[in-house]
Every structure is written in C-alpha cells, then in structure tokens.
Amino acid sequence: MKIGWHSGDKGFTLLELLISIAMLSMIVLIVGGAMRMGFRSTESGQKKIDSLERFRTSLNIIESQLQSAFVIKRTGTEYDEDFAQFVGDRSSMQFRSLYSLLGGSRGPVEVAYVVKEDTNGKRVIFGSENLIVFTEPLREIRLIDNASDIYFEYYEKGLTDEKGKWMTEWNSKEYKQRMPEKVRLNIDEDGRLFSLIIQLRTVVPSTSQTGPVRRPKL
C-alpha cells in the first residue's frame, strides 16, 4: 500500500502556510494600529472641544462680571486712602460685581482675578470672590490656563481728552476711586495673541470731571 499525495490532490505546503500566517499577522497589526490612531484622534478631538468650551465659558464669566461691576456711593468728603472702587495691574484686578462666578443669583460680590504660573511655566487665570454682605471662606476657581502669557490693560479717556490710552496699572490714588471705561484681556498662546475688550457699563468720573454717572444696565 502506497501512502502519499496524488497528483490530483490540492493542499498547502508548509511554506505557504507560514506566508499566510505572516500576512495575516501584518494585516491584524495594521488594522489594530489604525484603530488605536482613530481612538487617540477621537480622544484628542474631544479634549480640544472641551478645552474650547471651557475657554468660552471662562471668557463669558469674566465679561459678565466686568459688565455687572458697580460703584459704592460715598457719603462725606473725607478722603479714604484705603477705599477703592477698582484696583488693577498687569496680572490682577479687584472690583465689585452683581454677577457671581459661583452662581449669578448669589448677590453682590467682591471679585479678584489673579494671573499665576503653573508647574509647566504656563500662565493661568484664577478667579475668586467674597460675598459683600456675608463673610465666607474664599474659594479660588481655575479659569483660563495653558497660555504663554496673560495680562490685563485698562482704558482711560477723560471728558476733555481727544484720545484715550491703555494702561497696565490702575491702582494709584488718582484712579482707584473710579472705574476704567474698558478692560482688555490679552492671552498669548505660543505667539498667537488673543485680545478681548470688555466695555464697563459703570464709569465713575474723577473729581475734576463733570457729567452724569453711567449705571449698569442689568
């Protein structure tokens, strides 16, 4: 009895089988890599969407608080050096607002924004507030982050001035008793500068100026 392959039988040789396994392994690796790239791309896209949404929300909060800024009427003529309607410099500003970043109905709050540097050397804006009527623990909230630079500017234009000017300081005795007309928030992201100009609805004229005081339109 003779055992062996007949000329009419069809089958795979060992070499063909090894080649098929190798090709199948390559296909599995390619498909697996493509799927991983797809998942990473989706995750990265979602992170960018979340980051943009957080950025827009933070800008809306800052804009709403500045547009809801108000002044406290002073009675008497005695000068109080410690009292300020608005204080600001390149990396911080403080004022009073009718809008709360922790909840719009919380009532009048004292607002503070501070630009700090994180562990990666990037700039971050932190916002905090205190209720004016009741005292409670200060809570700081991280708003805009991952920027190369963040800084504030303040616009001043007197009634007799033809042109106004932007300043990075609003804390001198002359200015802190009143409010700037505009605040400009500058955000530098690796050479790309984004600037948001916010018009304040309340402006306190200086002692040398005359004219009506504009009140917030809420």
Residue 82 has pLDDT above 80, yes or no: no
Q: What is the pLDDT of residue 73?
A: 73
31 pLDDT above the threshold of 80: yes
pLDDT tens column, 148-162: 999 999 999 877 888
Which pLDDT score, from 0 to 100, does residue 137 have?
62
Q: Note the pLDDT of residue 154.
A: 96
More confident residue, 3 or 83: 83
Question: Exposed (0-12), middle (13-18) or buried (19+): which is 183, by Cβ within 10 Å?
Answer: buried
CA distances to 169, 193, 197, 218 from 151, rounded to whole Å, are 11, 11, 12, 27
Q: Which range (16-20, 36-40, 102-106) has the least confidence?
A: 102-106
Q: What is the mean pLDDT of the chain?
A: 79
pLDDT exceeds cutoff 60 at 135: no
User: What distance, in Å, lies between the first and last C-alpha atoms of the chain?
Assistant: 105
Sheet with 139-142: list strands edge to edge.
Answer: 86-89, 92-97, 109-117, 123-131, 139-142
pLDDT of residue 205: 41
190: pLDDT strictly greater than 70: yes
Q: CA neighbours within 13 Å on the CB side: how many for 72?
A: 16
86-89 vs 92-97, strand pairing mode = antiparallel
Q: pTM here?
A: 0.66
